[in-house]
Amino acid sequence: MKVTKDEIKGMLQQDGWHIEQGRHSRMAFFAWKPMKDVPDCKANDKPPCLGIEYYSSIEGDLAWESCEICVAGDTGSDLWVNLRAYSISPDELIVKLPQAIKTLTACWVAACQP
């Protein structure tokens, strides 16, 4: 299913995601949403946030877009992790998002075990 960047933003916002400008020139936008029912990040005693990084770049005649879904934080004992599902095409993002969230949540919970 072909979807535009703005359609993806709209779908994410309807699902409670916050949308921000990209953090650098190749990141078109960044979306974030606190995780639920997981151990807190030990650095700030709050649930970690899932992030979606939407990359877009034009180099010569080539246009490239890709998405990454991530969670990062301090899992305890000052051990920081950066977990991500990557190389997801924008057309597949909404379909793959639930499984990616499930996988990243399981990884976060496992990383927080003593």
HEC secondary structure over 12-56? HHHCCCEEEECCCCCEEEEEEEECCCCCCECCCCECCEEEEEEEE
Radius of gyration, alpha carbons of the chain = 15
| pLDDT, tens digit, 9 for 90 and up, residues 33-58 | 999 999 999 999 999 999 999 999 98
Q: How far is it, in rounded angstroms, from Cα 110 to Cα 108?
A: 5
Of 4-8, 49-53, 75-79, 96-100, the range with the lowest mean pLDDT is: 75-79
Task: Kindly tell me if the per-residue pLDDT of 1 is higher than 80.
Answer: no
**Given this model, what pLDDT does residue 33 score?**
97
**Given this model, what pLDDT does residue 24 score?**
86
Domain locations along the chain: 5-111
- Whole-number Cα distances in Å, 55 to 50, 78, 89, 96: 16, 30, 10, 16
Query: Is the full-model pTM beyond 0.85?
Result: yes
